[in-house]
Structure 1
């Protein structure tokens, strides 16, 4: 293959790529991602601060401590979490599953909810139908939760409510330590 200078003619300059080089593009991309992550963290923090007001706690009322109020507070998400003063609460929609078809397991701080359901039907015409449903949801419990005292209940509307008390001493928050 001929060099670019010979191909274009010896007097023609070699064209340069337009725009920044690959290293500056990568740096720009990393900066953009970092900016988006910081904005998402600010929004998450704002939602955590607004949650009590949205639930009516800021008006002197205490919301009903049910799984339904937890699920409504989280919108359409599959599970919603709430940090109360005395306990941690988690709600998951498992409608269609019976307690016998569900299993909740705690390994360290990892909480796993699994459900398996199998239905077989046969019609008079000899047509067989086999339906199999399975769910699996995992979440990490906060460090200030007593994992030995996790309790579960299933409401009539199919909401699995998982509760655990906070430890006696809350986890210490990070702080800057001056250098002397």
Structure 2
């Protein structure tokens, strides 16, 4: 760490008259800051070129990314219904699980290829979606179906509430509680008959 003595001219010190010319091991502040500024400029240039590279590759990757759409229908009387576009995945690459009150869809796909020049490419795709199952839906009766167009439909019916029949609830009347009698005076004993 630099202190004031290293940055200020040594001649202003009272020791300068006794010691004469003294050199420190610390470089001048101007040298440090100019080198730091040059390094920062190099870093900025590198980051801007890297950002341009990512932006150009990111745009093409976004165009190639699989489109997914979700339609959630939880209307009254219909239950729980989800439609997810999974046309880039085969049924073997998909799994649907019920974890507590959540439905979890996971799709995993690996592709490897080698071109005519001998370049090797490897691609790993993951699709993961989660949905909360409402409390009034029977999660145990969940079903899945996959259409030829690649639409995965996940459905569950509403819980069947038992029909409430009308019934009368009898009112029980408890017997009157016995009234407590006068308490015996101190020193008096009560005899119990058997």
Q: TM-score, normalised by structure 1?
A: 0.49
Greater CA radius of gyration, 1 or 2? 2
Q: TM-score, normalised by structure 2?
A: 0.46
